[in-house]
Structure 1
Amino acid sequence: MTSARPDLETPEQSRRGPLSELAAPRRVFKRKRRNGLILMLKIALPLIALSCVGYIYYWWRQAPVIHPTEVLSDAKQQASSDVKLQKVQYNGVDANNRPFSITADHASQPQKAETAPPPQSGAAAGDASIVNLEKLMADMTMGDGAWVAVTADNGVYHRDAGTVDLSGNVTLFHDTGLSFETDAATVDLKNDWARGDQPVEGQNADGQLASQGFEVRDGGQTIVFTGRAYLKLFPKKSNGGGS
C-alpha cells in the first residue's frame, strides 16, 4: 500500500499556482477596508451636513443686520439734533392782558451748533426764544372782543417778541365771518396786529375779495387790504312776500 505524499500537488493547485494563494486573503482585506470606508462616510457625511446647517443658522441669528445709512450734511445733522415735541400749546396774554394761544402738531427748538451758518428768517440757532412750529393755529382776542384765528403749515414763534412768522397755506378767520388766504404773514400776538405782503384771496357772506396784501390794525377793529384790490359783492336776497 502506498501512502499519499504531502508534498505532491493536485492538478487544481497546480493550475492556481502560488500567487493565487496570496491573492485570496488580499481580496478579503480590500473588501473589508472598502466596507469600513463606506460605513465611515455614512456616518461622517450627515455629521458634516448637520454642522454646516448649524453654523449657518448660528450666524444668521448672531450676525448684525446692516442697513445702508445716509451720510448727513452739516445742516441735516443740525436739524436731527433739534429738540422736537408733538401736540404743543403756548398760552399768554397781550399788552392789554387779553389771552392768546398757539397750538401745533409739532414743535422743535434749534440747538446751538459749534459751527453754524448765519441764521435765516430770524431763527437763530441755539436761541431759546425761537420755536419752529408745524401745522399750527394761533388765536387771540382783539380789542373789541372779536376773535381771530390764523392757521398755517409752518411758523417760527419768537417767544420774547410775541410774534409768529407764518408760511404755507396761511388762513385768517374773523368771527364776523370773514376769511382769507395768503402764502405768508406775520402776527403780533402781544399787540394784536397782523400783516402780510403776499397776494390775498378771501370772502365773507357779502362777497369775495382779492388784494396784494393786508393789515389788521387797531386791535383787530380794522382790516386793510393793501395794493391793488378787487371786491365783488353778492346781491342781497330780498325778503319777498306780503300779508
Structure 2
Amino acid sequence: MSQEIRRSDFLDVAQDRRRALTPSRARQVPRAEQIARRQRLVQAMKFLMPLLAAGVLALMVFWPDIEGSNSRLSFRRGPALVPEALQLVAPRFQGVDELNRPYTVTARLARQPGQEEVLLMELPRADIQLNDGGWVYVESDRGRYDRATQLLDLEGNVELYHDNGTLFRTEAAAVRVNAGTAHGERPTQAQGSFGTIESEGFEMRDRGAVMIFTGRARAVLEGRQQ
C-alpha cells in the first residue's frame, strides 16, 4: 500500500512539472487576412518613403523663397569630372605616301588627351622608306603626333639615322612622315663617313636625298689617303 502511495505521489509531481514547463501563452498562427494586411502596409511604405524624402528635399530647396530673401540657401558647384585621357601601349601607325612608299610611326606609350587626332608619345619612332629603297629612322624621348597632318614633333635627344651611315643629333625636330621631310632649328651635329658637321639647324628634303645645314656651320671633313 505504501509503495502504491509513493508511486502516485511521484506521478503527481511529474505532472506538476510538465504543467510548469508548458508555455503560458500558446503561439497563434496569423490568419490569411492578417498576412495580406501586413503585405499591403509594406508596399505602401515602399511607395510613401521616396515621396517623403522628395518632399523634404524640395522643402530644403524652396524654403528660403517661402521664408523670405534674408536667409537663402546657397550651393557650390563642385569640380567637373574630366574623363581620363585615352592611353595606348605600344601603338603602331602605318601608311603610304602618294607614290606608295610606306612609313611607320611607333612609340612605347601614347596618350590622346582629347577628341582630336593628336597623340602625346613617349619614346616615339618613325621609319621612312626612301626613293632608292633606303630608309631614314628617327627617334626621341617624347613627341607629339598629329595623325590628320602626319606631322611628328620630336623633342629630347632626337636622333636621325640615314641608311648611308649618317647620324644626326639635335634636341628638337619636326618630321612630316608622309612627305619624308624633316627640319630643326636647334644646334645639330651630323657625323658619317665624310666627317662631322655642326650647325644651328638642318633640313631634310626629298625623303633624305638632300640634306641642308642651316645657320652657322662648321665642318671637319675626313679625306681618304691615296
Q: TM-score, normalised by structure 2?
A: 0.61
Q: Over aligned residues, Cα RMSD in angstroms?
A: 1.7
Aligned residues: 147
Who is 1:222 aligned against? 210
1:95-118 CA-partner distances (Å, limit 9, x unpaired): 22110001110011013xxxxxxx
1:30-64 CA-partner distances (Å, limit 9, x unpaired): xxxxxxxxxxxxxxxxxxxxxxxxxxxxxxxxxxx
- Please show how residues 66-105 of structure 1 align to structure 2 within 5 Å: 81-105=84-108
- Please show how residues 111-126 of structure 1 align to structure 2 within 5 Å: 111=114, 126=115
Moved more, 224-233 or 135-144: 135-144
What secondary structure sits across from 1:219 in the alignment? helix
What secondary structure sits across from 1:228 in the alignment? strand
What secondary structure sits across from 2:131 in the alignment? coil
User: How many angstroms does 1:237 deviate by?
Assistant: 4.2
Q: Please give the alpha-carbon distance, in whole angstroms, between the structure 2 residues aligned to 1:205 and 1:162.
A: 31
* Letter in structure 2 aligned against 1:101: T
Larger Rg: 1
Who is 1:142 aligned against? 130
Which 5+ residue runs of structure 1 have no aligned equivalent? 1-73, 112-125, 239-243
Q: Please give the alpha-carbon distance, in whole angstroms, between the structure 2 residues aligned to 1:218 and 1:173.
A: 15
Percent identity between the aligned chains?
38
Q: Please give the alpha-carbon distance, in whole angstroms, between the structure 2 residues aligned to 1:183 and 1:230.
A: 18
Q: Contact 1:146 / 1:220 at 8 angstroms: preserved in 2?
A: no
Q: Please give the alpha-carbon distance, in whole angstroms, between the structure 2 residues aligned to 1:192 and 1:203.
A: 20
Which 5+ residue runs of structure 2 have no aligned equivalent? 1-78
- Please show how residues 13-92 of structure 1 align to structure 2 within 5 Å: 81-92=84-95
Q: Contact 1:130 / 1:157 at 8 angstroms: preserved in 2?
A: yes
Q: Please give the alpha-carbon distance, in whole angstroms, between the structure 1 residues aligned to 2:108 and 2:207.
A: 28
Who is 2:22 aligned against? none
Q: Contact 1:144 / 1:219 at 8 angstroms: preserved in 2?
A: no
